[in-house]
Amino acid sequence: MKIIEINNLTKTYNKGKVIALDNINLAVEESEIFGLIGPDGAGKTTLFRLLTTLLTPDKGNAKVLGYDIVEDFEAIRESVGYMPGRFSLYSDLTVKENLQFFATLFDTTIEENYHLIKDIYEQIEPFKNRRAGNLSGGMKQKLALSCALIHKPKLLFLDEPTTGIDPVSRVDLWNMLKKLGREGITIFVSTPYMDEATKCDRIAFIDNGHILNIESPENIITNYKQNLFAVKSEKTYLLLKALEKFPKTINSYAFGEYAHVVLNGDENQLKEYLVQNDFKEIDIKKIDPNIEDCFIEEIRVISQHNRGINEA
Amino acid sequence: MRKILILIQKEFKQVLRDKMIVAIIFAVPILQMLILPWAIDLDVRHVSISIVDLDKSTYSRDLISLFSASESFNLYSYYDSYKDAIQDLQMNKVDVILTIPANFERNLIRDNGNQLSATANAINGVKAMLGTYYLNMIIKDFNQQIVLEWYPQIESSLSNSIDVRSSVWFNQEGDYKNFMVPAILVLLLTVVAGFLTALNIVKEKEIGTIEQINVTPIKKWQFIIGKMVPFWAISNIVFIVGLLIMVYLYGIPILGNVGLLLLYANVYILSILGLGLIISALAHTQQQAMFVNYFFVMILLLMSGLFTSIDSMPSWAQTISYSLPITYFIEASRAIIIKGAKFSEISNLLLILGIFVVIMNGLAILTYRKRS
């Protein structure tokens, strides 16, 4: 059985004027960590809200744990855990009270499923009598994760769990997710951070309400067929401008202190061009793509495709 | 059951931890009960009057002394010319000017009659109307004094004329507080029961906690019961505290049965909780809920017969008044507290309040269904 199965799911807002999700198809396998990667406004949260039965779709359907998201919403609510992107626990209740509260709502107790949350909860236990509102960002996320896990869900929805927390807590959180994945809990997680994509078993790129590609991060990288170079010079802004004008450039964009450029040629041709244009201290190296390069390439291909359709 | 209990427990914890809300729920009603009944008094007293005495005779001084002795009037000033006096009126310092013409005494004796002039500032219409009315009463008394002085023999014929004496039942002194305190109590109950509930639910929407609740197996009705029970309990506490203030501080005894009063109060609370639920279903932010609440408070305040008599409203306004539950509860509580009404006398009010409970909560369920 597929844990999540989405068929032609469409969701619009404002009476159809805003298309949040356009004809989405997706399947998530048992006990995998499935990442939904995309920029802000891509439709990630809408998809989460649909799958957790907080919204109903306009068209298409989806099954979560074999239950239809419209017909069997009650069964879904019994058996999934959801951690919204925004901290949604009671900030005027203490850590322990929040946990107790959600355990009771799911007809269970903290003791019954303590083994599941033990690793996470132990880190916030020293503050168990502190009000949730007074916790740091990372602590809040750990508490939210504990509350989402307390009823032993088969499937965990995490909407941008690492947004707004420090790098150490981010690494912490991903290690926990890995561990939960090994215990057989399927995890459906979204993030705007491309570097986190590699931590997932499989990822789906989402942009503008469309799913672009579904693959394992390794395959996405090995499937990248373009010539990719990192270029540096003393004048970064002018370099970017010049790269755009270079006839053999397919795509170029800033990436940290380097500019990444996809070429329809080799590095010597680029170097020659840059020297002609008075650039100094030029550093060009051929690089392997990372996830972000792959995502940008996907978007380029799609928009080229769309332009083709429009022009035709 | 366990789920509902933890919801109720959670609600109590949250309310009690929010110091501001605790203050609003308990201190504000008590303060209002202590302050408002003294201020809201529709009896007009202390009408300020200026007197222009152009005569300066014994009679004019007698007349003036009647005014200074009256509780209804405050003598603001004496003037020798009307022109000076009218300036005070224009500055809004006096409400009424009485002008005693020159040769008042002489003409009175010679012609057996005379005229006085009164000028009233009608910016405050009630004060002007009642002020001139009181003024006429005093002059009438003065007139009678003179008649008796001159023609003692007609005293017998005077006493034969019709003399109307009114007696005020159920509120012997005609004290406004007896009338206002129960009404203010009802208003406070309305605010606590209806609007705090609405704001509380909308707050969960606004800060997003309802999102987390919605993905749990909690049913909507369980959530709503979890909200209603705490606020129902708080409303009862506020009402009882208010009653204690009324009885022991204002010395207004509850002539009827206290249990009967609580029964009516609780039926009323249920109908207002329904109104709160409707508001909470429609509003997305606490700001929206606040303004809807404000709208209803104004309507309830001014159209329920709280301050003014419903009978003197135009008929369309009366229709509105009679479609508000608060109208019936005010009637019932005044009847029980002031008049000592028995259940059989006001059973129809309970029936009507009961119908409101069904309508309000029915509508609440419908709006909640539609929104989910």
Q: What is the pLDDT of residue A11?
A: 93
∠ CA B57-B61-B62 to the nearest 5 degrees? 115
Report yes or no: B211 at the A interface, CB cutoff 8 Å.
yes
pLDDT higher than threshold 90 for residue A305: no
Q: What is the CA radius of gyration of chain A?
A: 23
What was the pLDDT predicted at B170? 66
> What Rg, from alpha-carbon coordinates, does chain B have?
28
Residue A98: predicted pLDDT: 95
The string of DSSP letters for A201-269 reads: SEEEEEETTEEEEEE-HHHHHHT--SEEEEEE-S-HHHHHHHHHH-TTEEEEEEETTEEEEEESS-HHH
Using a pLDDT cut of 90, give the percent of chain B over it. Answer: 18
pLDDT of residue B370: 61
Amino acid at B12: F
Q: What span, in angstroms and rounded, lies between the C-alpha atoms of A212 and A206?
A: 6
Question: Quick one: CATH architecture of A225-288?
Answer: 2-Layer Sandwich (3.30)
Question: What residue ranges do the domains of chain B occupy?
Answer: 2-40+172-371, 47-160
- Asked if the C-beta of B20 comes within 8 angstroms of chain A's C-beta atoms, the answer is no
B257 has pLDDT over 80: yes
Distance between CA atoms of residues B271 and A43, nearest Å: 42
Domain extent listing, chain A: 4-216, 225-288
pLDDT at residue A279 tops 60:
yes
B216: which 2 tokens?
Answer: 């749990």
Helices (H), A19-166: 44-51, 73-79, 95-105, 114-124, 137-149
Residue B289, C-beta contacts closer than 8 angstroms, at least 6 positions apart: B195, B198, B199, B202, B279, B280, B283
Residues 6+ apart with CB under 8 A from B297: B190, B191, B195
For the residues A239-244, what does the mean pLDDT come to?
88
The mean-pLDDT minimum among A64-78, A145-159, B31-45 falls in B31-45
* Chain B: residue whose CA lies nearest to A89: B209
Which amino acid makes up residue A50?
L
Interface mutation target, options A53, A88, A99, A110, chain B, most CBs of B under 10 Å: A88
| Cβ separation A88–B217 shorter than 8 A | no
pLDDT band, very low/low/confident/very high, at A185 (cuts 50, 70, 90): very high
Query: Could you tell me the pLDDT band of residue B151, with boundaries at 50, 70 and 90?
Result: confident
pLDDT tens figures, B50-76? 888 888 888 888 888 888 888 888 888
pLDDT above 70: residue B174: no
Distance CA B77, CA B93 (A): 10
Which of the two residues, B95 and B156, has the higher pLDDT score? B95
Task: Say whether pLDDT at A282 is over 70.
Answer: yes
Distance CA A48, CA B215 (A): 11
Question: Is B2 an 8 Å CB contact of chain A?
Answer: yes
Q: List helix spans (H) across chain B.
A: 2-17, 19-22, 28-39, 58-69, 82-90, 104-111, 125-150, 155-160, 176-190, 196-207, 209-214, 220-244, 258-282, 286-303, 315-321, 325-334, 343-371
Please check whether residue B209 touches A, CB under 8 A: yes
Q: What is the pLDDT of residue B329?
A: 92
Q: How far is CA A6 from CA A178, A204, B310, in A?
A: 24, 13, 61
CA distance B181 to B36: 8
Q: Are strands B96-100 and B47-53 parallel, antiparallel or unpaired?
A: parallel
Phi, psi of B266 (to 5 degrees): -70, -35
Q: How far apart are alpha carbons B209 and B257 in whole angstroms?
A: 43
Query: At residue B352, does pLDDT exceed 90?
Result: yes
- How close B273 comes to chain A (CA, Å)? 23
Residue B113 has pLDDT above 90, yes or no: no
With cut-offs at 50, 70 and 90, classify the pLDDT of residue A46.
very high
Distance (Å) of CA B139 to CA B54, B81, B129: 17, 21, 16
pLDDT tens per residue, range A111-165: 999 988 888 899 899 999 999 999 988 889 899 999 999 999 999 999 999 887 8
Give the residue-averaged pLDDT of B300-326.
85
B47: number of Cβ within 10 Å? 25
Q: Residue B282: pLDDT above 70?
A: yes
Per the CB < 8 A criterion, the answer to whether B289 and B283 are in contact is yes
Q: How many CB atoms lie within 10 A of CB B360?
A: 21
Three-state DSSP at B313 gives coil
In the predicted structure, residue B307 carries a pLDDT above the cut 90: no
pLDDT given for residue B42 in this prediction: 64
- Average pLDDT of chain B to the nearest whole number: 85
In CATH, which superfamily holds the domain spanning A4-216? P-loop containing nucleotide triphosphate hydrolases (3.40.50.300)
What local confidence, expressed as pLDDT, does residue B243 receive? Answer: 92
Q: What is the pLDDT of residue A299?
A: 85
| Mean pLDDT (whole number) for B351-368 | 90
Question: Cα separation of B356 and B300, whole Å?
Answer: 15
Here the tokens at position A9 are 């799911």
In this structure, CATH architecture of domain B47-160: 3-Layer(aba) Sandwich (3.40)
Cβ contacts of B207 on chain A, cutoff 8 Å: 88, 91
Reported as a single tens digit per residue, the pLDDT across A283-304 is: 898 899 988 899 888 888 888 8
How close is the nearest chain B Cα to the Cα of A204, in Å?
24
What residue in A sits closest to B16 (Cα-Cα)? A92
Q: Give the Cα-Cα-Cα angle A67, A68, A70 (nearest 5 degrees).
A: 135
Weakest mean pLDDT among A196-205, A280-289, B70-79, B343-352: B70-79
Instruction: With residue A24 as reference, give the H or E element that holds it.
Output: strand A18-28
Q: How many CB pairs under 8 A join A and B?
A: 59
Q: List phi, psi (to 5°) of B223.
A: -60, -45
Q: What residues of chain B, 298 to 337, have a C-beta less than 8 Å from chain A?
A: none
ipTM above 0.90, yes or no: no
pLDDT number for residue A137 = 85
Give pLDDT, residue A309: 73
- Can you give the pLDDT at residue B252? 87
